[in-house]
Every structure is written in structure tokens, then in C-alpha cells.
A = this chain, B = another copy of it.
Amino acid sequence: MKDKIRIVLVDDHPVVLEGLSNLIASVDDFVLMGKCQNAMDAMAVIRSQLPDVVLTDIHLPEVNGIDLTHRIKTEFPFIVVLGVSTFQDRSYVSEMIKQGASGYLTKNASPEEIVLAIRKALKGELAIGPISELPGLPFISSESGPVLTRRETEVLRLIADGLTNKEIADKIFVSQSTVDSHRKNLLTKFGVLNTAALVANAAKTGKI
């Protein structure tokens, strides 16, 4: 049937792939065009099958779901991409949307929610899972953490690597005062009181 919705799955976990493909098989007008465990395979399958929808995990080996989304949307802007993530990955979701994804689902979404999200996305709507349940939220805000400048991100990562301000200063060729300032700004931006909470939050929001 030419009018069926053609879907490609990308996830490095076989059981997730299995679960999703079963789900797709159970829907009349869905047809599975391919199951891939990495971005490279996915691009190959997408080029040959030209699906309507790609459901992709965010954590993938080598090339991640965000970059994959970017590549898909660059080559095939008409393909609808949906991210599939676990709770922890939510911070990456806004990145995916930026790359042109039409939404995301958490892996613990019910089959009905998943089918619904795919249909929603095909209609051009943004299909966001759990988060949209909270009305009034300014669309992915809190979970993704504050917006950092290039330098702040750099300093943050060096902090997480265990360097002291002095060491960071030497490494990036600025004075210790500067690093001090960046660090203070990081604390302020994250709304925390010390390094521990800073690094924990940074890890949680995928900044390091």
C-alpha cells in the first residue's frame, strides 16, 4: 500500500527496537521500513527507503541522535523525525527540536501515546511527551539548564575534570581572576551554592 506511513527505527538497544517494531506492526497504516542500531546504518536505510517518519534514540554510539536529526533534516527536510529518550535525556530534547525534530517520546510512553505522537508529528504539530502535560511551561526550560557562553562551558568542563581555578587559568591563558569570575557566574546561572551542586546539575542537564 503506497499510502501507508513508512517508518524507520533507530536505537542501539535491540529490545527497544523489538518493542517499537511490534508496536508499529500492530498499527494498520504504519509500515516498518527498517531497524537500525546506529546513525550510519540509519542514513543508508533512509536514503534508500525514503521513509515518512524516523524514530530515533538520542543516545547512539558514534554519531548521536541530535547529529543524526541534523543530517536527516538537511538531506530530507520533509522527513518527520521524532526523538525517543529516557527520562535522563530530556535535556537533549531541545537540541533535537532545534535540529528540526518534530517531537520526542520517552521510552516509558504507552503504545497509544507513541502512535498518537507519530500522527501528531505528521500533521506538522510538535509532539512532546510528558513535559507538555504541564501547561504554561515555557517549552523545555528548567531541565535543560541555563544557557552558557562558550567560555563558561569551557571552564565548566575543566572544573568537572578536576582542575583548580589556577590550573584552568594556566590552561586557557587567562588570569585566575577571570576563571574565578566565570566560576562565580556559573554558580549564579545554575542557581547553586557550590561546585558539587554545579557539577551535579551540569551532569544532569548534559552540559558535561
Which residues from B are CB-within-8-Å of A192? Answer: 162
The answer, among B19, B20, B203, for a CB contact under 8 Å with A203, is B203
| Interface bits A76-92 vs B (CB < 8 Å: 1, else 0) | 00000000001000000
Asked whether any CB of chain B lies closer than 8 Å to the CB of A159, the reply is yes
The answer to whether A111 and B14 touch across the interface, beta carbons within 8 angstroms, is yes
The answer to whether B196 and A16 touch across the interface, beta carbons within 8 angstroms, is no
Which residues from B are CB-within-8-Å of A164? Answer: 194
Which residue of chain B is the closest to A108 with respect to CB atoms?
B13
Instruction: Label chain A's interface by main secondary structure.
Output: helix
Interface size on A, residues (CB 8 A): 34
The answer to whether B109 and A14 touch across the interface, beta carbons within 8 angstroms, is yes
| Interface bits A185-208 vs B (CB < 8 Å: 1, else 0) | 000000011111111100110001
User: A15-B15, A161-B196, A199-B199 provided; 11 other pairs, C-beta below 8 A?
Assistant: A15-B16, A18-B19, A18-B22, A18-B23, A19-B19, A159-B196, A161-B197, A195-B195, A196-B196, A196-B199, A203-B204
